[in-house]
Amino acid sequence: MTYLRLIRFVGLISISLHFNICHAQFQNKKLGGNEKSIKRIMEFLYSNYDTNKHRSVWLTSDTSILNEYSINSKFEILSKALSCDSSFENGIKEYYLVVSSIPNKSEYQCHECAPVEEFFICSEIGSNLKLSYKKKINMLGNWGENCPFEAKKVGKSLIYIFKPGTTSAGITAESVMIYAYFNAEFKKLLYLKDAYMDNDGDCDLSVQNSCWKYEYKISFIDSTKSYSNFILLKKGTFKKGKKLLKIDSHEIYKFTNGVYIKS
C-alpha cells in the first residue's frame, strides 16, 4: 500500500474556538491515551462505560438515532468514543467528543449498516459536567463499525478525519467531507466527491491500460490561521471510455467566509 493511500482523507471535520483571537490550548488525546476523561464523559452521557471494551451500552427512545434504523420502540444502543479532546478558554474547560453509535443487535452488523456519528461539547462547571452542544454528524461506515478515523490539530483548529468509501462493480471510490464547529454551529465546509478511485476489483494486469488508480494527498498550510488552507494533490490514472488519462493536479483550497473554496 502506498504512502498516499495510507493518508488519503475521505472525511474531515474541523473544530476550533473561533473568536477574534483564539487562545484555546487544545490537548489532542487518542482513545486509550485519555481513557480517564473518556470514561468520565461517557458515563455522564450514557450512565455507564466498559473500560475493557471501550464502550457504553444503554437504552434509548431517542428518535434521532432509532429512526435511522426504522426502530419504533426503546432499544439498546452500543456507543464508542472515537476521540476526546479539550480546550481551556476564559476559565472554562470544554471537552469535544465524537461518538459512534449503533443498535446492539447482530442484524445491524450487515455490510450496509453504518453507525451514527455524533459530536458533543461538554463543559466542566466546577466538578460537574454540562452538555453544551450536540449534533448528529452523519452515518459513516459499514458492518456496524465506523469508518477509519483520526483526530489531530492543524494550525489553530482541531481536525477530525473520517475515511469512508464505497466499492461497486470492482471500482472503489472515496470522497472528502469537511465540517466545522464554526460560529456556534456545526456545519459542512466542503465536499469533494471521488477524491480517490481505483478499479482493482475489475482489471486484468495482462491487458494493457486495463487497470487504473489515482490517489491524493492533503497538505495543510498557513499554520498560524484558525482554519488552515490546504493543498490537494492528485496523481495517477483514470480511464474514460477506452482512453487512459493521466492525472497530476495541484489545487489550493482557502477558508473563506466559513467554507473552503478552491482558489
Length of the chain: 263
Residue 43 has pLDDT above 50, yes or no: yes
Beta-bridge partners for 179: 13, 188
Specify which of 13-27, 42-56, 156-170 reaches the highest per-range mean pLDDT: 42-56
Q: Give the pLDDT of residue 244.
A: 94
Residue 16 has pLDDT above 60, yes or no: no
**188 vs 194, residue with greater confidence:** 194
Quickly list H helices, the chain. 3-7, 35-46, 63-66
Residue 38 near residue 49, CB atoms below 8 Å:
yes
Prediction pTM value? 0.79
**27 vs 20, residue with greater confidence:** 27
Residue 132 near residue 123, CB atoms below 8 Å:
yes
CA 198, CA 194: separation in Å to the nearest integer? Answer: 10
Using a 10 angstrom Cβ sphere, with 0-12 exposed, 13-18 middle and 19 or more buried, the burial of residue 81 is buried
Q: What are phi and psi of 28, to 5 degrees?
A: -80, 115
Residue 5 has pLDDT above 80, yes or no: no
Per-residue model confidence as pLDDT tens digits over 88-145: 878 889 998 999 999 999 999 888 889 999 999 999 988 899 999 999 988 888 888 8
Residue 148 near residue 142, CB atoms below 8 Å:
no
CA 222, CA 218: separation in Å to the nearest integer? Answer: 13
Per-residue model confidence as pLDDT tens digits over 200-249: 999 999 998 899 999 999 998 887 788 888 999 999 999 998 899 999 99
DSSP string, 106-157: GGG-STT--PEEEEEEEEEETTEEEEEEEEEEEE-EETTEEPPEEEEEETTE
Percentage of residues in the chain having pLDDT higher than 90: 45
What residue ranges do the domains of the chain occupy? 1-19+156-263, 23-144
Percentage of residues in the chain having pLDDT higher than 70: 87
